């Protein structure tokens, strides 16, 4: 497909798996392994049936979510960390680091080892950003373990994770940066966002230019139980900073934006050579399944502002970033993905880039 199109990552887990996790009170129980395996196999088969040129494992094994999967179960954390308030009124919480050193409990490249048993299409792997995990460190500090040392350890773990994904054959690696827009809501001055950009660029600087071309950054206003955490933060304050990140690809939520044209104008005015922009053409938290024609029109709209050779399509967000989210069914998620793929094909024909 001349216009590249990719998913973001998560697909709703099977109800049997969700119920088993709830019954056991943890997603780390070894007895869950057969359910995780089957959920991954089934997800990959459904993904490949859509004709998607690039797939994921649906994040079926990421417990409890896309954000804290590397640290779930760590002995040097407590559950009373940073709060993520959603507009619907519910709150998700991160763990809080209590002592050093900081190490991942697991790396996302482990999921590729499982996915490769079943996938024939190229596999993309999503990882969490250093800036998101930096929120584990408490504001009051940790005696005997400075924030500076924590950042060194954090970046070492992040770089090892990304390199491990490529070593295991990942087609690309997506760094989830949903906290970028949230940072503007927490701190409207932009200082927190600037610190996040600097931290993530420190990590990106440790990869070659060729590797950075295969690394993408995903931004969205969050998506959980059909709600967001930062859709009310102005995109105009985020997008220019986002495009300063030294990555080759950017996955930018647009389908759910009330003013897509304004966002596209900002992207156009800040786009740099070599950056590939995957515009969101599907809104996962919208209960309605978009038509292929709607997707086509959104792509054609984006092509008025972004050069076609720098344009791709994606979904605004994952369909179940938190594993217990039942707001979207597995079948509906794949119906939306099929609409994205077919609509992108239709747009490519009209743009003459088949």
Q: In this structure, which long-range contacts are made by residues 190-197, counting pairs with CB atoms below 8 Å and at least 24 apart in sequence?
A: 190/237, 190/241, 193/237, 193/238, 193/241, 194/241, 195/131, 196/129, 196/131, 196/134, 197/131, 197/241, 197/242, 197/244, 197/245
pTM listed for this prediction: 0.95
In order along its 354 residues, the chain shows pLDDT tens digits of: 589 999 998 999 999 999 999 999 888 999 999 999 999 999 999 999 999 999 999 999 998 888 899 999 999 999 999 888 888 788 888 999 999 999 999 999 999 999 999 999 999 999 999 999 999 999 999 999 999 999 999 999 999 999 999 999 999 999 999 999 999 999 999 999 999 999 999 999 999 999 999 999 999 988 888 788 888 889 999 999 999 999 999 999 999 999 999 999 999 999 999 999 999 999 999 999 999 999 999 999 999 999 999 999 999 999 998 888 888 899 999 999 999 999 999 999 999 997
- Is residue 205, in this structure, part of any structural domain at all? yes
- Is residue 345, in this structure, part of any structural domain at all? yes
Phi, psi of 14 (to 5 degrees): -60, 145
- For the chain, strand residue ranges (E) read 77-78, 83-85, 91-93, 96-97, 124-128, 172-176, 215-219, 249-252, 276-282, 311-315
- Is residue 305, in this structure, part of any structural domain at all? yes
- Is residue 9, in this structure, part of any structural domain at all? no
Positive or negative, the CA dihedral 71, 7, 195, 212 is positive
- Is residue 2, in this structure, part of any structural domain at all? no
- Is residue 110, in this structure, part of any structural domain at all? yes
CB 278 within 8 A of CB 344: no
All residues at 6 or more sequence positions from 190 whose CB lies less than 8 Å from its CB, including other chains = 184, 237, 241
Q: Which domain holds residue 284?
A: 15-351
**pLDDT at site 1:** 52
- Is residue 1, in this structure, part of any structural domain at all? no
Tokens of 202: 């420190």
Burial bucket for residue 269 (CB in 10 Å: 0-12, 13-18, 19+)? exposed
* Partners of 97 in the β-ladder: 77
CB 171 within 8 A of CB 122: yes
Collapsed DSSP state (helix, strand, coil) of residue 192: helix
> Angle formed by the axes of helices 260-270 and 292-302, to 10°?
40
**290: CATH:** 3.20.20.210
**Domains held by the chain: number:** 1
Output the CA–CA distances (angstroms, integers) from residue 209 to 69, 86, 265, 274, 310, in the order listed: 28, 37, 27, 11, 17
- Is residue 250, in this structure, part of any structural domain at all? yes
Instruction: Concatenate the DSSP letters of all residues of 199-228 into one string.
Output: HHHHHHTTS-HHHHTTEEEEE-S--BTTB-
- For residue 328, the number of C-alpha atoms closer than 13 Å in the C-beta half-sphere is 30
Collapsed DSSP state (helix, strand, coil) of residue 109: helix
Closest CA to 37 of 54, 58, 65, 55: 58
**pLDDT at site 35:** 96
- Report the 10 Å Cβ neighbour count for 288: 9
């Amino acid at each position: 497909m001349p216009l590249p199109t990719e998913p973001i990552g998560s697909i709703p887990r099977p109800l049997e798996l969700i119920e088993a996790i709830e019954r056991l009170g943890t997603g780390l129980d070894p007895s869950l392994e057969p359910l995780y395996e089957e959920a991954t196999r089934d997800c990959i088969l459904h993904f490949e049936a859509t004709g998607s040129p690039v797939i994921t494992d649906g994040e079926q094994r990421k417990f409890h979510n896309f954000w804290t999967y590397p640290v779930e179960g760590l002995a040097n954390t407590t559950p009373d960390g940073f709060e993520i308030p959603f507009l619907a009124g519910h709150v998700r919480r991160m763990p809080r680091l209590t002592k050093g050193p900081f190490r991942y409990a697991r790396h996302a490249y482990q999921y590729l080892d499982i996915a490769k048993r079943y996938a024939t299409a190229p596999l993309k792997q999503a990882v969490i950003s250093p800036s998101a995990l930096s929120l584990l460190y408490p504001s009051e500090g940790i005696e005997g373990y400075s924030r500076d040392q924590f950042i060194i350890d954090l970046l070492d773990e992040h770089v090892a994770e990304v390199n491990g994904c490529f070593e295991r054959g990942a087609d690309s690696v997506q760094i989830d940066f949903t906290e970028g827009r949230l940072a503007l809501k927490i701190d409207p001055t932009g200082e927190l966002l600037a610190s996040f950009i600097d931290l993530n660029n420190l990590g990106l600087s440790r990869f070659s230019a060729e590797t950075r071309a295969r690394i993408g950054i995903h931004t969205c206003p969050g998506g959980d139980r059909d709600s967001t955490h930062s859709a009310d933060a102005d995109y105009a304050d985020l997008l220019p900073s986002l495009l300063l990140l030294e990555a080759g690809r950017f996955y930018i939520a647009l389908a759910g934006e009330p003013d897509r044209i304004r966002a596209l104008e900002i992207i156009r005015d800040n786009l740099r050579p070599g950056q590939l922009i995957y515009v969101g053409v599907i809104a996962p938290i919208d209960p309605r399944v978009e038509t292929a024609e709607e997707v086509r029109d959104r792509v054609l709209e984006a092509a008025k502002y972004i050069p076609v050779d720098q344009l791709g399509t994606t979904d605004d967000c994952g369909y179940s970033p938190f594993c217990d989210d039942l707001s979207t069914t597995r079948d509906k998620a794949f119906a939306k993905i099929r609409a994205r793929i077919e609509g992108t094909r239709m747009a490519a024909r009209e743009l003459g880039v088949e």
